[in-house]
């Protein structure tokens, strides 16, 4: 995405950014409903262990599967999409904005085929962000009334709506 196109997308999405911390309700898919609070071990990829900050942030985010979505939330009592990302990376000393639009300007572009755990994935005209956890899945906080969950990126909804991916820090 060129800088001019990104600016146009960001300008068009400022209403969502001001009203909702950058998470759009347009990212719902059928699998995004109904996950109850569960205690799970962090998701790990089947690749060799890595000590990267990104992979650690992804593992940390998966510990909060089942946590309620809270508009503008950025703590274990409730997260919105960018709040989950900000909180996980913040625990590791990486200060990120609480906005999916602003997050897209951070780090470097990553092709979908080269994503690694912890890379950020963007949808809905940059109105939604999740964190790649490996094996074609992401952890995210989808919308009000739902909970933090892991979904497959290759499904009919998310597979076709990926705007881009960004590698934040190592």
CATH of the domain at 126: 3.90.1720.10
Residue 72 has pLDDT above 70, yes or no: yes
Catalytic residue chosen out of the listed positions 23, 98, 140, 167: 140
The whole model's pTM is what? 0.73
Nearest-angstrom CA–CA distance, 35 and 45: 21
The answer to whether 33 is a known catalytic residue is no
69 DSSP assignment = B
Question: What domain count does the chain have?
Answer: 1
The answer to whether 167 is a known catalytic residue is no
Catalytic residue chosen out of the listed positions 23, 81, 98, 167: 81
Highest-confidence segment of 45-54, 150-159, 160-169: 160-169
For residues 142 and 89, the answer to whether their CB atoms sit within 8 Å is no
Listed as own residue / partner, the contacts of 14-20 with beta carbons closer than 8 Å and 24 or more positions apart are 14/101, 16/127, 17/99, 17/100, 17/101, 20/71, 20/72, 20/80
| pLDDT score, position 48 | 43
Handedness of CA 156, 138, 136, 112 (dihedral sign): positive
The answer to whether 128 is a known catalytic residue is yes
Catalytic residue chosen out of the listed positions 23, 98, 128, 167: 128
Tokens standing for residue 79? 């997260």
Q: Which domain holds residue 82?
A: 3-167
């Amino acid at each position: 995405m060129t800088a001019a196109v990104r600016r146009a997308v960001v300008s068009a999405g400022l209403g969502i950014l001001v009203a909702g911390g950058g998470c759009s309700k347009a990212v719902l898919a059928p699998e995004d409903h109904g996950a109850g609070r569960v205690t799970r071990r962090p998701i790990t990829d089947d690749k060799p262990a890595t000590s990267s900050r990104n992979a650690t942030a992804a593992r940390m985010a998966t510990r909060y599967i089942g946590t309620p979505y809270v508009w503008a939330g950025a703590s274990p009592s409730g997260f919105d999409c960018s709040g989950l990302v900000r909180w996980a990376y913040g625990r590791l000393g990486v200060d990120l904005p609480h906005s999916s639009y602003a997050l897209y300007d951070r780090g470097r572009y990553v092709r979908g085929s080269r994503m690694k755990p912890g890379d950020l994935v963007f949808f809905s005209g940059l109105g939604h962000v999740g964190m790649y956890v490996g094996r074609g899945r992401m952890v995210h906080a989808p919308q009000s009334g739902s909970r933090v969950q892991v979904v497959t990126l290759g499904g009919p909804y998310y597979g076709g709506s990926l705007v881009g991916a960004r590698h934040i820090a190592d």
